[in-house]
Amino acid sequence: MVHMYNIVKKEKLTPQVTLMEINAPLVAKKAEPGQFIIFRIDEDGERIPLTIADYDRDKGIVTIIFQEVGKSTKKLGAMDAGQGILDFVGPLGKPSHLDGVKKVAVIGGGLGTAIAYPQAKKLKSLRVQVDAIIGFRNKDSIILEKEMTAASSRLFVTTDDGSNGNKGFVTDTFKKLLSEGKIYDLVIAIGPLIMMKAVCELTREAEIKTVISMNSIMVDGTGMCGCCRLTVGGKIKFACVDGPDFPGHEVDFDEAISRQDIYRQEERLSLERHECRLGKN
Amino acid sequence: MIDQTLKKVEILEQDPNTRNKNFLEVALGYMGLSETMAKEEAGRCLNCKYPKCMDGCPVGVQIPQFIELIVSGDLEEAYQKIRETNSLPAVCGRVCPQESQCEAKCVRGTKGEPVAIGRLERFVADWHIKYAANKPIHVAKNGKKVAVIGSGPAGLTCAGDLAKSGYEVTIFEAFHTPGGVLMYGIPEFRLPKALVQKEIDQLRALGVEVRLNMVIGRIYSLDELKQDGYAAIFIGSGAGLPSFMGIPGENLKGVFSANEFLTRINLMKAYKFPECDTPVKVGKNVAVIGGGNVAMDAARCAKRMGAEKVYIVYRRSEEEMPARNEEIHHAKEEGIIFKLLTAPTKIMGTEDGWVKVMECVEMKLGERDGDGRRRPVIIKGSEHLLPVETVIMAIGQSPNPLIKDTTAGLKTEPWGGIVVEEETGATSLPGVYAGGDAVTGAATVILAMGAGRKAAQAIKKYLQA
Ligand SMILES: Cc1cc2nc3c(=O)[nH]c(=O)nc-3n(C[C@H](O)[C@H](O)[C@H](O)COP(=O)(O)OP(=O)(O)OC[C@H]3O[C@@H](n4cnc5c(N)ncnc54)[C@H](O)[C@@H]3O)c2cc1C
Ligand SMILES: Cc1cc2nc3c(=O)[nH]c(=O)nc-3n(C[C@H](O)[C@H](O)[C@H](O)COP(=O)(O)OP(=O)(O)OC[C@H]3O[C@@H](n4cnc5c(N)ncnc54)[C@H](O)[C@@H]3O)c2cc1C
Ligand code: SF4
Ligand code: SF4
Ligand code: FES
């Protein structure tokens, strides 16, 4: 008998973004904000990392929120409550350090919002003042607005095209807050590498400690393959065991951006084959 | 009558130019032809009264006894004889460095070739798998629970020994597949995964529970395992942390650790991409840095994945290569190019970050160092360029720090190895034992098994006391 991890609930947040609750009591018991899991749907599947967006220790449930970008996330997105996933490993990575801060800016770019959400929630519960800035392509791709409202003292939502009435990037809003004289003792920035790099450039100038979360390509997630390596402060670090959180000002973003597309060609091929199959059915 | 031939009975192998394009097993073994060949080879054993060969075997396989049973045609008995001291005969017969262990000591080796002990061991194990299906073994349980961390040869052996004595054993494995390096490192063409699977099935038949996707240190701490009722713990977590050289360009796209390259191919079946979802990238020209078994495996995999030129770049000479003779021989036959006394100094990339060329220097051998090997020294002005698109680092692994970092009081060496009492495998924590690569650093399958066995003995004693 093969053990499966059951999908307890599925909810489409936007056409591309799905939330799932997975029955994984042991993972739920130990999960902390900042940590992630690796799933594998079936025997031929790839190992795919996803952040633990939320957890319920009593119910034994782990929440994941993912964007359908390639074959594996599309396959997962096509599954329904009641079905099972073959592998679900975690909690992996180091929990975020959230002690001893008073005023924090949490900046989420797109799906990064889902990764930043558990940290914001935890900070709020520690009575920290949280200014959250989350940005999306357009109005229809906004996720977790309600949840982030609850997890922050003030929430700013931006869209690239202004379709929600607040046009601009998250960095624009953040710059504005800084120029208004807002002071933060920590910035947590999670989103596309380009966005995190831009935030770090701002905070370096303003001398605000900044933590970012790396979403490197991974295989094992236990420090065994070195696939997820990046350069931090001139040294090689493994995102899966030394991170995924890193001090943003020390990260070599250009190298990380370059490494992100190692398998772009293969990923495209994999997706095309997958969609072609689906078309036939 | 004793067979006087000086040479081993040849084993059947796939043709080098066919096999370097597939992942099927290279050596077909004596099973490929007939029992006659195996019996003929067994006939070369002198059945020595003081068998030297046994001194060379780290687990003391009763070599002349099992070979005698092949001669008399009692193959299942031969298998059981090996199993008395070696729990993974089909594996050891294939991957043991016999030339430096049992066969190195065989008296027939003083004139001509030694008895092909490894091949015979493999033959007997394969025969058993083919003809004598494992019967479920019923052992009365003694109610004592033991946790084994890691399902490599050390963990499997420890678990098997304890289960046979009635202990309730649970293996906790981080990966989605049990077997350790036997599954994710050593390639299919050297060690078919179905064989490893059979060994694990057999453990399950003994009542061992294997829990996958369990990263100890994260999902359970050692203390929590104890609280859960595990009266003793064995750590067999291996040496999985890859080393990099620290030279410029190592993070360019196209540079892999051997661990990543082999894991993608073996465990994740990247050679079946896109049928299987995990890809791997192999350029036309591939350089593998290192001279051990890991380097040979990576090079031979790269060739099979379609690379045209595959180089082994090693800083000493062939004589110092730690890889098994058989692997070096097979690699050469398959067209791997050996660049010896050569070391990389820099990797340079294209504008968009892909590996393009590797700068190397030539070396000469100087003074002998601590371990008796001659230390390589750079020849001035010997810099030269090697155009490659893929570089695979196979320069060694050390124990993964995850368990050490999450277990207070567990003593380790500065390089990460867990400190144990030589004879028992006992660590600095009561009731916690360790063995295999997690203790010694990267070593061999048979040594890991030996350590697993020793620890099982010690655990039994500890739990009886
Ligand atoms: C620690 C960690 C936490 C993560 N958390 C989440 C999460 O909570 N939700 C979520 O949706 N995703 C998350 N990711 C990213 C997620 O793992 C990738 O989106 C996933 O691997 C894509 O797999 P796929 O087979 O569907 O697509 P692929 O075919 O692998 O890729 C399709 C596209 O996605 C891009 N891509 C691939 N891998 C990554 C990556 N690691 N990061 C960014 N882009 C990538 C590719 O360049 C390509 O354009 C996380 C990654 C890490 C390392
Ligand atoms: C490519 C390659 C080729 C080799 N070729 C040969 C050869 O030809 N002959 C030979 O004798 N030796 C060879 N070796 C060496 C041999 O494989 C190892 O010495 C042997 O496997 C060590 O066994 P082990 O049980 O100590 O560890 P491993 O086999 O490494 O197994 C350790 C297991 O523990 C698991 N683990 C690690 N951390 C945790 C954790 N925190 N929680 C749960 N599980 C964990 C790992 O996932 C793994 O499954 C080779 C090694 C490699 C990498
Ligand atoms: S276990 Fe290895 S060393 Fe021992 S007899 Fe078998 S092949 Fe030789
Ligand atoms: S030393 Fe050689 S000949 Fe003697 S018993 Fe061992 S295998 Fe046989
Ligand atoms: S994913 Fe393999 S080391 Fe991080």
At A86 the pLDDT is 95
pLDDT digits over B89-113, tens only? 999 999 999 989 999 999 999 989 9
What CATH number labels A5-92? Answer: 2.40.30.10
CATH architecture, range A96-213: 3-Layer(aba) Sandwich (3.40)
Chain A residues with CB under 8 Å of B212 CB are 3, 87
Ligand 5 atom 3 nearest Cα: A223
Helix (H, G, I), strand (E, B) or coil at B243: coil
B32, containing H or E segment: none
Report d(CA B362, CA B378) in Å as an integer: 6
pLDDT > 90: what percent of chain B?
A: 72
Domain boundaries, chain A: 5-92, 96-213
- Name the band, by pLDDT with cuts 50, 70 and 90, for residue A280: very low
Chain B residues with CB under 8 Å of A236 CB are 244, 246, 250-251
Q: What is the mean pLDDT of chain A?
A: 91
- Name the band, by pLDDT with cuts 50, 70 and 90, for residue A281: very low
Helix (H, G, I), strand (E, B) or coil at A122: helix
DSSP letters along B149-218, please? E--SHHHHHHHHHHHHTT-EEEEE-SSSSSSTHHHHTS-TTTS-HHHHHHHHHHHHHTT-EEE-S--BTT
Q: What is the mean pLDDT of chain B?
A: 91
At B32 the pLDDT is 55
CA terminus-to-terminus distance, chain B: 52
Q: Does A262 touch chain B (CB under 8 A)?
A: yes
Model confidence at B271: pLDDT above 70: yes
- Name the band, by pLDDT with cuts 50, 70 and 90, for residue B6: confident
Name the phi and psi angles at B415, rounded to 5: -85, 0
Model confidence at B331: pLDDT above 80: yes
Mean pLDDT of B384-413: 93
At A191 the pLDDT is 94
User: Which stretches does DSSP call E strand in chain A?
Assistant: 5-12, 17-23, 36-40, 48-51, 54-56, 61-67, 84-85, 87-92, 103-109, 129-136, 154-159, 186-190, 210-213, 229-232, 235-238, 245-247
Model confidence at B153: pLDDT above 60: yes
Q: In Å, what is the CA distance from B241 to each residue of A156, A241, B3, B276?
A: 43, 11, 47, 26
Burial code of B278-299, b = ≥16 C-beta within 10 A, e = fewer?
bbbbbbebbbbbbbbbbbbbbb
- Name the band, by pLDDT with cuts 50, 70 and 90, for residue B180: very high
Measured from CB, residues less than 6 Å from any atom of ligand 5 are: A 218-221, 223-228, 238, 240
What's the pTM? Answer: 0.91
Across the interface, do B175 and A44 touch by the CB < 8 Å criterion? no
Report d(CA B141, CA B362) in Å as an integer: 61
Mean pLDDT of A59-63: 95
Across the interface, do B353 and A258 touch by the CB < 8 Å criterion? yes
Ligand 3 atom 8 nearest Cα: B102
Across the interface, do A236 and B279 touch by the CB < 8 Å criterion? no
Beta bridge partners of B433: B234, B426
- Name the band, by pLDDT with cuts 50, 70 and 90, for residue B382: very high
The region of weakest confidence among A137-146, B236-245, B362-371 is B362-371
